[in-house]
Structure 1
Amino acid sequence: MKRVVYTETGDPGVLQLTEAESPEPGPGEVRVRLRRAGVNPTDWKSRTGSGPGQPVDPPQTPGQDGAGLIDAVGEGVDPALVGLPVWVWEAAFQRPWGTAAEQTLVPVHQAVSLPDPPDGSDPFDLGAALGIPFLTAHRCLTVAENGPQRLGPGTLAGRTVLVAGGAGAVGNAAIQLARWSDATVISTVSSPQKAQSAAAAGADHVINYRNQDVVAELRKIAPHGADLIIEVSPGPNAAIIAGGLAVGGTVAIYANNGGDEVTLSIRPLMTTNARLQFVLVYTAPHEAKLRAAEDVVAGVTAGAIRVGEPVGLPLLHFSLEETAQAHQAVEDGAVGKVIIDITD
């Protein structure tokens, strides 16, 4: 089978397309013959490591997310699963078999049944785009002290959710999930094009932070403030966090865009009894991820979760041979979801 690997950390040039024997699933594992793979920021960050030239042994195939068909199962796994269309999450976390390959191995619970989208779109494109972005967004939307652990119609009714950076993959997922759950969804963006993307995803209100006062506009829409802020840039957005959060509100921080340091005003956050929750899906509670996967499937089945231009997330396709270019596109901040086409 064809498999992209890197044996040392570095820029996209360290990625090599190789031939390898098909891996055999161990106990509790399934092997998935992939059709599509998704590329996430953690893929290139893991590839770079803490600097170039660090040895990687065994060779690592990048890619956490993908979609395809189960073609073999290990001991203890129901053989009836062979042939099942699935989407895969966290394939490469602490494992060498990522999704930039014709086949990958994952524990059976990380290969989730993939329903056909009601809109008739390609299920494998959708499946490859679900994993890390939607599990991250689900976790962000369910960490409030008095909030729901599950998402779906009515679960966020009466709540105002502010999604920072609504044109990104996680931002897009958060908007779709929050809208499906009946929240009032506000998103901040940096351009008219990204405003259109956030609105297409389902945001009720969009604020361009480059030419609008975010806190003032937010308070016009929701005088009490945002009950939940999904935050991608906590450093640059510290004043928005302090001025825009409702009493008892929660800030879910899932990235450090704009810098690794944040200075927060203590008194405003103290008086609102603010809750700050950092989110990294890879080390999030296992049960929370299983709940998220179930909710994502329910959202897909209901037609509430989609990908592509109609929902503000254009799909940018690369071949397996172009995995290095796919990584570079994500690293350069491409607007949309980067997909690697493994097979037709």
Structure 2
Amino acid sequence: MKAVTWRAFGAARDVLNIEELETPTPSKSEVLVRLAFSGVNPSDAKARSGTRPGVTKPPFDVIVPHSDGAGVIEAVGEGVDAARIGQRVWIWNGQWQRAKGTCAEYICLPEAQVIELPQKVSLETGAVLGIPGLTACHCVFANGEVAGKTILISGGGGSVGFWAVQLAKWGGATVLATCGKRDVARVRAAGADDIFLYDSDSLSDDILRATNGNGVDHAVEVEFGENVELLANVMASNGYVSAYGSAKRMQPELSFGPILFKALTVDVTLIYILPKAQRAAAIERLHAALIDGAVNLPKPNFFSMEDAGAAHECVEIGGRVGSVLIQI
């Protein structure tokens, strides 16, 4: 099979190559998926570049990148219902703690990691459910139902944030979002009730004014280190913060007092290790939202396997609109 591989840390165009690898055969409880799309996420670029904290060498001799993807089941191993052959599916954790990910013509995985797509959901959308979709869904609903609550979503124009705005609105919340000037119109169209420029000097006061001084019940936070002081100011007592990123400040400093006297809960989410029951709940809810037509995504940025280096660069540069997909 044809696959994109890397063998050493480095710049995308220097280390990503096309190779012919042996097509895998499904073992017991596994399925073989013929892939249509491979989703590229920031974590994939960080893994390839060697910038993950504490990682000093590649974990495997040859790595096929990417954890997200979608395609069709072509074969099944022992113990798997043969009726699954031909299913349109999406994948989670395709390359988490394993060498062979989704940027190849085929992948073998335990069948639990290969989820049948709802009939009306495209393979392109399926290829971004594993990390952006599940992260947003879990973060929005991590503390239960959101109907009647006020939710603040930072980075509403980003991959996860844009999902989160729509899912929170679908769930019945009043949605506040921060974003840059370029994204205001589309974040509003996604359902945000109030939008604030993330670099505004009056951001904290503006958010509190939008809540009539009552504060925010739940926050979905992409930059915890940068925004922890803001959160301490704008959250309501007993508020809940779902934090899934802190790239700009990985060693944040915070004042414990304001957090203590509001009794805030800070829930740090790493979607790769989400417990089984929570993952199942997020998958079920995510499918329900998609079936309801509650989520509309921007057109993806498509790349060929030969242009995998450019795809990684597109993710690394940032500022894009739409997911980055490699068409297999």
Considering the TM-score relative to the shorter chain, is it more than 0.5? yes
Aligned to 1:22: 23
Is 1:7 aligned to 2:10, yes or no?
A: no
1:290 and 2:264 equivalent? no
Task: Return the alpha-carbon distance in structure 2 between the equivalents of residues 203 and 65 of structure 1.
Answer: 27
State the secondary structure of the residue aligned to 1:327.
Answer: helix
The answer as to whether partners of 1:5 and 1:15 remain within 8 angstroms in 2 is yes
Q: How many residues align?
A: 323
Q: Is residue 138 of structure 2 the alignment partner of residue 139 of structure 1?
A: yes
Contact 1:98–1:104 (8 Å) recurs in 2? yes
Q: Is the 8 A contact 1:4 1:62 kept in 2?
A: yes
Distance apart, 1:297 and its partner CA: 1.4
Query: 1:306 deviation in Å?
Result: 2.9
- Inter-partner Cα distance in structure 1 for 2:38 and 2:189: 24
| Mapped contact 1:166–1:197 kept (Cα < 8 A) | no
Partner of 2:234: 244
Q: Bigger shift: 61-70 or 210-219?
A: 210-219
- Map 1:138-287; keep pairs closer than 5 Å: 138-143=137-142, 147-148=143-144, 155-191=145-181, 193-211=182-200, 213-222=202-211, 223-287=213-277
The structural deviation recorded for 1:53 is 8.5
Q: Which residue of 2 aligns with 1:34?
A: 35
Following superposition, the deviation at residue 43 of structure 1 comes to 0.5
Deviations 1:251-296 (A, max 9, x none): 1111113121212222221111111111111122122112211211
**In the alignment, is the contact (CA less than 8 A) between 1:29 and 1:107 conserved in 2?**
yes
Counterpart Cα distance in 2 of 1:217 and 1:55? 46
For 1:52-63, what aligned pairs fall within 5 Å after superposition? 54-63=57-66
TM-score (norm 1): 0.89
Q: Deviations over 1:15-35 (max 9, x none)?
A: 111112210111111111111
TM-score normalised over the length of structure 2: 0.93
Question: Shift of the alpha carbon at 1:219?
Answer: 1.3
Which residue among 315, 318, 324 is the counterpart of 1:333? 318
Partner of 1:125: 124
CA distance in 1, matches of 2:103, 2:312: 11
User: Where do 5+ consecutive residues of structure 1 fail to align?
Assistant: 149-154, 309-313
C-alpha distance in 2 between matches for 1:169 and 1:7: 28
Output the amino acid matched with 1:331: E
Per-residue deviation at 1:138? 2.0
Structure 2: runs of 5+ lacking an equivalent: none
The reply on whether 1:89 has 2:92 as its aligned counterpart is yes
RMSD: 1.7
Question: 1:25, 1:73 within 8 Å by CA — same for their partners in 2?
Answer: yes
* Residue 316 of structure 1: how far off its partner (Å): 0.9
**SS of residue paired to 2:152:** strand
